Chains A and B, each alone.
Chain A
């Protein structure tokens, strides 16, 4: 079979696979149906604060296996559903991020920075359009790269990144986030280290739960999703309650729902103007996605930083610039396609979503993510390659679905931005507490939730950014594992992180980022302070 026939066989396997039912004699393949079902599930789930794509995938995989069984015919419907959820959740995650400053998925965190201020100006419709356009463009680009480069790129990337380089790269990404987000790199670093410390409670490889001080409540460690929801959402709710209380105390009217702006469309010309940001972010997201073990949160951060650098518009980043939303969404969405490069060619996931695709393939059998997938054998048929092209078709089909209905579905949620704060805040509180309890059904969850809500509130009062804390909570486990593994593999060499040129380069960059950003901020401060001092002296 020549390569073109493999592609054709893959496309046919997706559209003409086992049929679920027939309409007017036309068989509807269950793979097509499952992509649609997955996309809708992911979009609605992603738009619900506290529900993540990973959560939806974890819950649905066992049910899918039960329904479709363990034959190779089950591969495309099951993986199609998971791909649908992955794509739907990425787009959906932007909705609560923009409307409520509540990222539905962790990768949408950076979207809040500009999406929410836009929402407050009454431009939620525009922000959602920007997010959707950027997200789908980034996603489609990334998928195209996956289809064309997967076999070659994977081998190259994996060749250069060992345990040591992975550890150094995570350190670099943490220092990036700490330095760039918030008013001062030092406050950012404090938040990041606090996150690492919290994440190290009762984790690690000891059978004894470290740092738990023999207490019952800390034995199982800090529940990650509860901590994140607590700091990010409940902390914000507390701060908003305080604001409402003060407003009432000062006998001022309670702050009303944001005004409705007339500027909620997204013209072709505006789309064209966003393209440079989207393209740069899509390339960044695709590169990050192709690195095994590094997820979309880092891509979103790097995309945002790159966009920040390029931006010269009148609305600055972080104050509601559409370019900020576009840069973030294009970057985090373009991870998912490229992420399948290491998954399909080496069997190594780069994000949580990809983990479930591997599990599905493992449980069903007949498709073994690894170098064998991309073997274009001419003499005999390689069924795995056909499945791979079937999966690519499923991804493209989900993209087309996203282009056609994704935007409308997203904006259907836009109506929620007009709900007044007095009604919205208790709803967010209830929804978040429900999400926390659903994921971890015990009363201790609420103890953690309120403790982290208080922490989030205090951090807001002290102007310490919460984002570095949250991201270091997520990356702490990966970092610890990578460091431990790099150390063991080096045979207990104390300078293990400095033995490879690439890892040294990453570490130097990590220090440079903090130093340079601190200097620039100091410089800015001096510049702004100088006229004031002069004025005072005069």
Chain B
């Protein structure tokens, strides 16, 4: 037993030494937090997005000497976190990690909307999803067109979606192509991929979790749900080819309660940009491996992008309601 205790102690000492050695010198920023920064995470602990947020908070602590404490406030697709964050003072000591859809789409379908875009300051986008429509490779379909053909020929196609927005997408794709899919709601980032792998559904939306199965040849991306081609399957057609003019991609963002003082905002923006632009940082590596790579959009450009997403969501909801 004592032997195990010793080896374990040695291992922890070693890992501590490694992480100390990896620390770079601290860049200077116009603002220093007066205490601990709480990073509210709008996702369940342990998911892909949660890991991303935790790596970000650890990197902020390690690089800038701040104390950033992650706190998961999961529930209702990020709405629980947004509501909690909105109530916090705008002093930079509480920031939130969320996904664009939670601010641009979800409030528009809420029975009683509890927050809007104007309630937040947008600090920085971090990275984006790689939304695709996937099927098992052994089904023989190469593109979404093949599936639409099969549906037109009378085959019943079940289509899994993880969110209400993607369910709207399922309906709109069918509507614009003269077919009706059987829409199935699944849970979690891997929900769609799991359902397709298990042959519980025919095709599914996937937000990036399909990457490994696509590269191993088990799944194929039938179409890209993003505005641009997918990194893992550049040949997969865009949805615009099927008369669907919407971008179903999501961006991961760092936000704060509205009314942040200018130097606080600048410091937080610079801090995040510094980490994302460093190709050796763990954050950079993670965004490249599991997401769309680092995407640093900040300030007025980010607010405009969010407004554009909001307006597009309005159109999608109207389209799906007709």
Within 8 A of A (CB), among B50-90: 50-51, 54-55, 58, 71, 75-77, 79-80, 83
B197 in contact with A347 (CB, 8 Å): yes
Instruction: For B75, give its contact among A21, A34, A221, A481 (CB under 8 Å).
Output: A221
Within 8 A of B (CB), among A398-434: 405, 408-409
A220 in contact with B194 (CB, 8 Å): no
Q: Residue A372 at the B interface, CB < 8 A?
A: yes
Instruction: For A365, give its contact among B75, B77, B289 (CB under 8 Å).
Output: B289
Instruction: For B285, give its contact among A34, A69, A162, A346 (CB under 8 Å).
Output: A69
A359 in contact with B51 (CB, 8 Å): yes
Chain A contacts for B277, CB-based, 8 A: none
How far, in angstroms, from A209 to B71 measured CA to CA in the complex?
Answer: 21
Instruction: For B11, give its contact among A20, A356, A485 (CB under 8 Å).
Output: A20
Chain B contacts for A208, CB-based, 8 A: 110-112
Q: Residue A182 at the B interface, CB < 8 A?
A: no
B79 in contact with A362 (CB, 8 Å): no
B58 in contact with A489 (CB, 8 Å): no
Chain B contacts for A356, CB-based, 8 A: 46
B200 in contact with A362 (CB, 8 Å): no
- Count CB-based A-B contacts (< 8 Å): 152
B4 in contact with A405 (CB, 8 Å): yes
How far, in angstroms, from A30 to B12 measured CA to CA in the complex?
Answer: 11
Instruction: For B8, give its contact among A40, A348, A371 (CB under 8 Å).
Output: A40
Chain B contacts for A221, CB-based, 8 A: 75
Write out, one digit per residue, whether chain A residues 372-405 have a CB within 8 A of any chain B CB (1) or not (0). 1000000000001000000000000000000001
Name the distance in Å between B103's Cβ and chain A's nearest Cβ: 13
A207 in contact with B194 (CB, 8 Å): no
Q: Residue A358 at the B interface, CB < 8 A?
A: yes
Q: Residue B117 at the A interface, CB < 8 A?
A: no
Closest to A401 in B: B4
A220 in contact with B164 (CB, 8 Å): no
Contacts A220-B80, A368-B216 hold; do A61 and B51 have CB atoms under 8 A apart? yes
Name the distance in Å between B243's Cβ and chain A's nearest Cβ: 24
Contacts A20-B14, A28-B7 hold; do A65 and B51 have CB atoms under 8 A apart? yes
Contacts A346-B198, A348-B197, A488-B184 hold; do A363 and B286 have CB atoms under 8 A apart? yes
- For the A-B complex with A208-B112, A372-B217 known, give 6 more contacts whose Cβ atoms are closer than 8 Å: A40-B4, A40-B8, A205-B164, A206-B111, A219-B80, A489-B200
- CB within 8 Å of A: which residues of B? 1, 4, 7-8, 10-12, 14-15, 18-19, 45-48, 50-51, 54-55, 58, 71, 75-77, 79-80, 83, 106, 109-112, 156, 158, 164, 182-187, 190, 193-195, 197-201, 209, 212-213, 215-218, 282, 285-286, 289-290
20 interchain pairs, CB-CB under 8 A: A21-B11, A30-B11, A36-B7, A36-B8, A37-B8, A65-B286, A70-B289, A207-B109, A207-B111, A208-B111, A346-B194, A347-B193, A358-B190, A370-B212, A370-B213, A370-B218, A405-B1, A441-B71, A485-B185, A488-B182
